[in-house]
Structure 1
Amino acid sequence: MTDSERMSAFELKSAVSLASIYGLRMLGMFLILPVFVFYAEHELAANHTQAGLALGIYGLTQAALQLPFGMASDRWGRKRVIYFGLALFALGSFIAAISHDIRLTILGRAIQGSGAISAAVTALLADLTREEHRTKAMAMIGGTIGVTFAVSLIAGPAFYHWIGVPGIFAMTGVLALLAMAVVRFVVPNPRITRFHSDTEATPARLKDVLKNVELLRLNFGIFALHAAQMALFVVIPLALKKAGNIDQNHHWMIYLPIMVLSFVLMVPAIIYGEKKFKLKEIFVAAIALMLVTQLFLAGLIDDFRALLVLLTAYFVSFNLLEATLPSLISKIAPASAKGTAIGVYNAAQSFGMFLGGAMGGALSQHYGPSAVFLFCSLLIGIWLIAASRMQRPPAVRTRLFHVREMEPVQAAELARRLAALGGVAEAVVVGEEGVAILKVDQRGWDEAGVMKLIEEEREHGVSQ
């Protein structure tokens, strides 16, 4: 492997440190999921509507501010915006930690969510990595989020036993402050800060993204997936305690084997879908499995053995869909609007968390837990219909290459020549960014021809 084919120490340090910031922040959100409803009910005297709103309100402020924070980082600097967002997250955590009233806890959670630094972090990562390695760096962040979620379900009950939910909130506030120190002393400063169309949203492309029916199907999917997830955590912890007569401090013993088994079962399905170009079939099957689990949960919520089987099936489908959706976004989104598509997708995810928490709490309080799962079944059922009608995603992957900065006419000509090569499904050259974005066939493409054209263009720029 040549030096250009592997991540440099600088890039690896950047990716690992920024992934750790993502992980610390998501830890603060996920740790309370399996235990918050107990705390809200017994310590804050809150009803289920209030508890669900406290869980979900984080997503509302995050959905509203993700794109503005990313755009602000272009103007005022990546690290300044990240410091500000982490400070807000810490403030909200400390407010929730000292709260003895559910309304103040809801305020703290809303402030936590307003520290919406995701777009700024990915923009900084793009500044710090070469185009050829950006996908790998982004995958490291994605993997960190998945691992953090699994660890949180297992560790949350243990932390609840040791330090309680106020302690968890205080700990996450301290972690946010430590993350600020990581940004200051560990994350490198970018040599150049610029806009990256592959990772950042631009208002000019929003209309195109919102008109794309295939992307709308995926956006509704991530919305429904996370709405169902948040609604589930309003009622499942109580159901596990009631049906299994297991104290909430020991719920980790339930979540640990479920999460391990779900990951083991998920991986072969993803490999099969990607290798055999059956991603749509795997995707639709996972949605169908989730719908079945929601329907059965509505009727078997008091049967402990059934609950364990259904939760395992739920997390198999959840983890599979959570891993597949970003891949589908990358395959379907226009190469020139990928960053905008991801921004809209992330906002839909956060809004789903809000609606799921709020509706789950209200339905649980007024109609019982079965109503929550029927609501989730409705969302997942609509998604299943929409997904079954989606076009088969192209068997492509995205590759980025550094080129010299050039005028629009030159960029268009280079894009035309690249698109004419074998296996190149789409080519966009963004001259002002000095990047070529290609969608190439997974079954084989003329990589040598692409590299030859790009090298010729670089040499032409040097000779001018």
Structure 2
Amino acid sequence: MSSGKMTAIERRAVISLSSIMGLRMIGLFMVLPVFALYAQRLPGATPLKMGLAMGIYGLFQALFQIPFGALSDRFGRKPVILLGLLIFAIGSFIAGIAHSMFFLIIGRALQGAGAVGSTILAMMADLTREESRTKSMAIAGMSIGFSFSLAMLLGPLLTKWLAVNQLFLLAVLFSLCAISVLYFSVPTPVSVRWHRDAEPELKSFFKLLVFPELAKLNGGIFILHAIFTASFVVIPINLYHFAGLPANKQWLLYLPTLLAAFIISLFCVGMAERKQQLKPYFVSGIIALAIAEIALWLTPGNRLLTALGLSLFFFGFSLLEAFLPSLISRTAPADRKGTALGIYSCSQFLGIFAGGVLGGWLYGQFGFTGVYLFCTLAALFWLILALLMQPPRFLVTHMLRLPAHRWDTIAAKLQLIPGVVEIVFVAEDSTAYLKLERGAAQHPDFIRLKEQLQSNN
């Protein structure tokens, strides 16, 4: 069997689980572009409560994702994913029928409490071999990115036919569809175990939290999502009051700007990878974000310049959102990638919460200027962090299963292969975690060694 080719069961598992993540993502984010216009009309609405309602799901997502993962290790993946999807559906229903800010905040909190993203990735790890793991996680990441872009377009478009509160009820339907996929399409794992490359390890959590290069990246994803959420406290209101676009027509602006941003960011990601010049493109994404905030701030009544600002905003966000998980994987120690990605996810969700609350408060105190100025300064601060960041090495991770008694012999052979940068052996997993330069996995000695280990296993 070719080590790089997925089996039929692996393909089915990855596609099905990615679909579940996508359905949940669409249900969660399609309301975001029109949320502020809807929330400000509810009884008891204030800018601060509006921002809290927008961002509170991030806080609960950060709080519950690791406990859900631990529960799934003990009680099984499917029951825990089912529980999370049901909590998400209940939260969506409460938000959909809410007639006050209090119940909207409760509903959004429950949407976040159904934090099964890490559990879905753990189940994907259960159902795929180590040699297919990188590809399966990449597919999951692409499905998340595509679902997010689709959600940002669907929300404003669907408001031509549906009221905003009905978008929450549509999210209930998406959650039920995800449950049906879970039980009728996703294979049941033969065994459930903890995966070092996909799940966090609490004992190394603090050590990686203060790891300097990872801290810069985690600070970056926190700032990115704080900027994004704070911006969407005011962007829909801005488009309504100054550009003359009601909620059901804002898709006319989102569609071309999202498409342009998606195409350009995809091209830039490809160029960065081919030229191995990731840092200049990464920095350009932050600069685009800062310019976008200034353009949206200073030209609210000009549709053309607003469209340009939105294009730059979505371009910068898409580019940085694509680069950051890859940078985390390349920077983290080979045997602690799951923990590093867990901290990254927590930082992302806490950024959503902070952006919502700060954006709402700033809008209430200082209007549009306060929010856009905050976002601009946050982007410039991040730019300084990024300029201090070490250019990343273009490394790939690899895992080898081998018995403990052969470790010394295998390690000696691996160290002789050009391009092998880091080797960590974890005895309790009987697994070697490697970081390799590109091309090292195709070196004849490496291929020969892998074939020997596979034949012995």
TM-score (norm 2): 0.96
Q: Distance in 2 between matches of 1:457 and 1:443?
A: 20
Q: Distance in 2 between matches of 1:418 and 1:195?
A: 26
Q: Does the CA contact (< 8 Å) of 1:335 and 1:439 recur in 2?
A: yes
Matched, 1:8 2:7: yes
Residue 431 to residue 451, structure 1, CA distance change in 2 (3 Å): farther
RMSD after superposition? 1.8
Q: Amino acid of the residue matched to residue 188 of structure 2? A: N
Find the counterpart in structure 1 of residue 57 from structure 2.
58
Q: Give me the identity figure in percent.
A: 40
1:415-459 C-alpha deviation (Å, 9 max, x unpaired): 453243111111233343344332211255553222322333344
Q: Amino acid of the residue matched to residue 166 of structure 2? A: G
Q: Does the CA contact (< 8 Å) of 1:210 and 1:216 recur in 2?
A: yes
Find the counterpart in structure 1 of residue 417 from structure 2.
421
Find the counterpart in structure 2 of residue 456 from structure 1.
452
Q: Distance in 2 between matches of 1:91 and 1:381?
A: 39
Q: Does the CA contact (< 8 Å) of 2:222 and 2:352 recur in 1?
A: yes
Find the counterpart in structure 2 of residue 33 from structure 1.
32
Q: Does the CA contact (< 8 Å) of 2:417 and 2:440 recur in 1?
A: no
Q: Amino acid of the residue matched to residue 177 of structure 1? A: L
Contiguous gaps of at least 5 residues in structure 2: none
1:69-90 C-alpha deviation (Å, 9 max, x unpaired): 1122111211121111111111
Q: Does the CA contact (< 8 Å) of 2:25 and 2:151 recur in 1?
A: no
Find the counterpart in structure 2 of residue 22 from structure 1.
21
1:304-337 C-alpha deviation (Å, 9 max, x unpaired): 3221111111111111101011111111111110
Q: Please identify, of 356-365 and 119-128, the stretch whose mean Cα deviation from structure 2 is larger.
A: 356-365
Q: Please identify, of 301-310 and 167-176, the stretch whose mean Cα deviation from structure 2 is larger.
A: 301-310
Find the counterpart in structure 2 of residue 395 from structure 1.
394
Q: Please identify, of 295-304 and 380-389, the stretch whose mean Cα deviation from structure 2 is larger.
A: 295-304
- How many residue pairs match? The answer is 457
Q: Amino acid of the residue matched to residue 429 of structure 2? A: E
Q: Please identify, of 417-426 and 328-337, the stretch whose mean Cα deviation from structure 2 is larger.
A: 417-426
Map residues 75-224 of structure 1 onto 2, 5 A cutoff. 75-224=74-223
Find the counterpart in structure 2 of residue 436 from structure 1.
432
Q: Distance in 2 between matches of 1:250 and 1:41?
A: 18
Residue 243 to residue 419, structure 1, CA distance change in 2 (3 Å): farther
Q: Distance in 2 between matches of 1:139 and 1:457?
A: 26
Q: Give secondary structure in 1 for the equivalent of 2:396.
A: strand
Q: Give secondary structure in 1 for the equivalent of 2:65.
A: helix
Residue 129 to residue 445, structure 1, CA distance change in 2 (3 Å): closer
Q: Amino acid of the residue matched to residue 61 of structure 1? A: F
Q: Distance in 1 between matches of 2:276 and 2:318?
A: 19
1:198-250 C-alpha deviation (Å, 9 max, x unpaired): 11100122132112100000001000101111111111111112222122201
Q: Please identify, of 141-150 and 438-447, the stretch whose mean Cα deviation from structure 2 is larger.
A: 438-447
1:9-56 C-alpha deviation (Å, 9 max, x unpaired): 100000000001101111111111111111112344622221111110
1:260-296 C-alpha deviation (Å, 9 max, x unpaired): 1111111221122111111111111211221222233
Matched, 1:358 2:357: yes
Q: Distance in 2 between matches of 1:3 and 1:420?
A: 24
Q: Does the CA contact (< 8 Å) of 1:33 and 1:233 recur in 2?
A: yes
Q: Does the CA contact (< 8 Å) of 2:223 and 2:378 recur in 1?
A: yes
Q: Give secondary structure in 1 for the equivalent of 2:423.
A: strand
Residue 16 to residue 434, structure 1, CA distance change in 2 (3 Å): farther
Residue 434 to residue 128, structure 1, CA distance change in 2 (3 Å): farther
Matched, 1:312 2:311: yes
Find the counterpart in structure 2 of residue 349 from structure 1.
348
Matched, 1:68 2:67: yes
Q: Does the CA contact (< 8 Å) of 1:41 and 1:47 recur in 2?
A: yes
Q: Does the CA contact (< 8 Å) of 1:286 and 1:320 recur in 2?
A: yes
Q: Please identify, of 242-251 and 158-167, the stretch whose mean Cα deviation from structure 2 is larger.
A: 158-167
Q: Does the CA contact (< 8 Å) of 2:40 and 2:46 recur in 1?
A: yes
Find the counterpart in structure 2 of residue 263 from structure 1.
262
Residue 101 to residue 280, structure 1, CA distance change in 2 (3 Å): same
Residue 62 to residue 412, structure 1, CA distance change in 2 (3 Å): farther
Q: Distance in 2 between matches of 1:20 and 1:445?
A: 30
Residue 154 to residue 73, structure 1, CA distance change in 2 (3 Å): same
Q: Give secondary structure in 2 for the equivalent of 1:244.
A: coil
Find the counterpart in structure 1 of residue 324 from structure 2.
325
Q: Distance in 1 between matches of 2:449 and 2:427?
A: 15
TM-superposed deviation, 1:171: 1.5
Q: Does the CA contact (< 8 Å) of 1:194 and 1:433 recur in 2?
A: no
Q: Distance in 2 between matches of 1:204 and 1:435?
A: 19
TM-superposed deviation, 1:184: 1.4
Q: Does the CA contact (< 8 Å) of 1:423 and 1:446 recur in 2?
A: no
Q: Distance in 1 between matches of 2:133 and 2:439?
A: 22
Q: Amino acid of the residue matched to residue 436 of structure 2? A: V
TM-score (norm 1): 0.94
Contiguous gaps of at least 5 residues in structure 1: none
Residue 413 to residue 109, structure 1, CA distance change in 2 (3 Å): farther
Q: Distance in 2 between matches of 1:309 and 1:79?
A: 44
Q: Does the CA contact (< 8 Å) of 2:57 and 2:353 recur in 1?
A: yes
Q: Does the CA contact (< 8 Å) of 1:224 and 1:383 recur in 2?
A: yes
TM-superposed deviation, 1:299: 2.4
Q: Distance in 1 between matches of 2:184 and 2:432?
A: 32
TM-superposed deviation, 1:66: 1.1
Q: Give secondary structure in 1 for the equivalent of 2:33.
A: coil
1:86-119 C-alpha deviation (Å, 9 max, x unpaired): 1111111111111101111101110110111011
Q: Please identify, of 332-341 and 309-318, the stretch whose mean Cα deviation from structure 2 is larger.
A: 309-318
Residue 138 to residue 456, structure 1, CA distance change in 2 (3 Å): same
Find the counterpart in structure 2 of residue 231 from structure 1.
230
